Amino acid sequence: MDDANAMHSLSSTLATQPLSSQSSPEQQHAHVQHQQHPQHPQHMPNPTDLQNHAGMQMAMAPPPPQQPPVDGANPDQPVKRKPGRPKGSGKKPVDPNAPPKIKRPVGRPRKDGLPAGSVGPRRASRPRKRPPGTFASGPQPGSGGYSYGTPFVADPAWGSASAPPMGIRNGRPPVFPIDPSLDADDWGDMSRSRPDRFLHALVAALEAPNPISGGGPPVEEAFKGHLVSLAPNSKNAAPTIPSLYSILKTFWLPSSPVYFSLTASASTARTPSEHRFLYWDPQPLVFNGISCPVCSSPLANRGRISSGPIKIYDLDKPFFVIGCEYVCTSHMCLGAVGPQGRKFASTDASILRALPAKLKDEFPALLLQGSPDLGTGADIWSWHGMGVSTALWNMVRASLRAGLRKEAILEIIRAIQHGTSDYDYTAYKHEEDESGEQGGRRRRRRRRKRRRTTRSRSRTVLQIKM
């Protein structure tokens, strides 16, 4: 019984005393003596000696870590956390060799199986009113599955009785094939990457027949009359400056509004046509003439091209350019091309590059260019649309930079040429009054509905109270 009481008191004492991880040398010496000379149970050693016993260390749990004492802190109250962000919670250093973290795309998951944020299939555009027009005339070979844009809708008042139909004319200028990687309807990208191909697409979209006269001579008769007036004087063998340049000081041939043609009497002189014609013969205006772009020999002036003018689309009605033919008869060019010599048109790119800058700026159009030049053939100089005016070109490019698309630009050009209808303010006021009356009727119906709902609720409450 005494041994049991002694063991119980020893266990209680060990439970109340803290454990230490290390013991003093005296305690280790006592522990060795205890193992060598076991004592009687009634002579029990100190609890501190048993504290370092191997069997007792295995049975007891390791002591909890003790925090260092804080100066002025009350041991009964918990230590408050210091203000500020804990250490190690700031921005972690980024491993440059770590793979990039894949983020979830913005947007809701798509129902078509594509990832969120991706562009879906392109919607089909509206059906066109008519197939795309050909370039000036005649059929046009396909260009990789892409066609020019919506054709320019012609004015029904246009047309010509004396000019041959556009569809039956043979011959057409060479056309650059549209790159399949470029969308023919995306004028913004095409104008930045390939301005030459964009000019072809613009001319094709603006295609229209020759305008008819409102009261004066037709455009074909006006052209023939201008050829007669521009004929050189047969007495002078050497080419001279045309009287249009030397006397009138202009490149534009005379024209007159329709009103004067309608009011002119038979006794008065013939009224000029309303159609605009530009005569372009820069060789007499250049000191020492123009040299051949191939052999640098002087070019001979063969006069105006009589097969027809070229058509230039403008913000208003188109105008026409009457050109001249220049020929190089040097031995080098005769041996290369034949006895007729190498021919150039006054509007070819190689001729325009040889002009002084101020004279070149007087040409008011941007023309389609061949490889290397278009020449003087009848397939070119035969009323074909071959370019646009500088004003129209600048307007189209400014519209593209402003964010307008092809359809909107063509609508603006049509509105400039044909006008827009005035806004009917009376109809707008009538529609506004009708919408106001309909809104008043809706408000009155809502008020009546609220009154009926309130009455029904009141009756229900009275019935419940009764």
Q: Tell me: the pLDDT tens digits for 75-104? A: 667 777 778 777 777 777 778 888 887 877
Mean pLDDT of 56-77: 54
Lowest mean pLDDT among 60-69, 168-177, 454-463: 168-177
Q: Which residue did the predictor score with more confidence, 132 or 254? A: 254
Residue 310 belongs to a domain: yes
Which pLDDT belongs to residue 203? 93
Residue 337 belongs to a domain: yes
Lowest mean pLDDT among 55-64, 90-99, 181-190: 55-64
Mean pLDDT of 220-239: 80
Is it the case that residue 279 has pLDDT exceeding 90? yes
Quote the percentage of the chain above a pLDDT of 90.
32
Identify the residue whose tokens are 């002084």.
356
pLDDT in tens, 239-258: 688 889 999 999 999 998 88
Question: Beta-strand (E) ranges in 198-347?
Answer: 277-279, 300-304, 310-313, 319-322, 324-328, 342-345
Is it the case that residue 412 has pLDDT exceeding 90? yes
Mean pLDDT of 21-46: 45
The CA–CA distances, whole Å, from 246 to 172, 237, 251 equal 35, 18, 10
Q: How would you classify the pairing of strands 310-313 and 385-389? A: parallel
Which pLDDT belongs to residue 9? 52
Q: Which domain range does residue 257 map to? A: 219-232+239-403
Q: What is the mean pLDDT of the chain?
A: 73
Residue 296 belongs to a domain: yes
At 116, is the pLDDT very low, low, confident or very high (cuts 50, 70, 90)?
A: low
Q: Is residue 47 within 8 Å of 10, Cβ to Cβ?
A: yes
Q: Which residue did the predictor score with more confidence, 73 or 412? A: 412
Residue 122 belongs to a domain: no
Which tokens belong to 387? 């370019």
Mean pLDDT of 382-388: 93
Q: Which residue did the predictor score with more confidence, 178 or 94? A: 94
Residue 285 belongs to a domain: yes
| Mutual angle of helices 195-205 and 390-401, in 10-degree steps | 110
Lowest mean pLDDT among 55-64, 93-102, 241-250, 435-444: 55-64
Helix or strand run (H / E) with residue 388: strand 385-389
Lowest mean pLDDT among 96-105, 290-299, 411-420: 96-105
Residue 340 belongs to a domain: yes
Q: Is residue 160 within 8 Å of 220, Cβ to Cβ?
A: yes
Residue 408 belongs to a domain: no
Write a three-state SS string for 160-185. CCCCCCHHHCCCCCCCCCCCCCCCCC
CA distance 107 to 90: 30
Lowest mean pLDDT among 41-55, 334-348, 420-434: 41-55
Q: DSSP secondary structure string, 320-338? A: EEE-EEEEE--HHHHHHH-
At 127, is the pLDDT very low, low, confident or very high (cuts 50, 70, 90)?
A: low
Q: How many domains does the chain have?
A: 1
Residue 293 belongs to a domain: yes
